[in-house]
């Protein structure tokens, strides 16, 4: 198992995987706006090409309403 961080919490994945695979594996909000891997924004069209592996930090950014 590989150790990663998702939204500030430790997580384990069985193997290195694309961002697209990761979003199907871990719980993410349905209306997420953006994904960052190691503080770099990954464009939606690149989710299948960018790989997440050991030690990576993933942030799934959502819109929060308020006033």
Give the start-to-end residue ranges of the domains of the chain.
2-62
Q: What is the pLDDT along the chain (67 residues), one digit of tens a residue?
A: 999 999 999 999 999 999 999 998 887 776 778 999 999 999 999 999 999 999 999 999 876 766 6
Mention every residue, 6+ apart, whose C-beta is less than 8 A from residue 40. Answer: none
As a whole number of angstroms, the distance between CA 65 and CA 67 comes to 7
As a whole number of angstroms, the distance between CA 1 and CA 54 comes to 9
Mention every residue, 6+ apart, whose C-beta is less than 8 A from residue 15. Answer: 2
The hierarchical CATH code for the domain 2-62 is 3.10.20.30
SS3 56: coil
Q: Is the dihedral of CA 48, 59, 22, 3 positive or negative?
A: positive
């Amino acid at each position: 198992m590989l150790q990663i961080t998702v939204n500030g919490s430790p997580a384990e994945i069985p193997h290195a995987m694309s961002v697209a695979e990761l979003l199907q594996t871990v719980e993410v909000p349905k209306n997420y706006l953006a994904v960052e891997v190691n503080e770099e924004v990954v464009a939606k069209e690149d989710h299948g090409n960018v790989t997440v592996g050991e030690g990576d930090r993933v942030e799934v950014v959502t819109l929060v309403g308020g006033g």
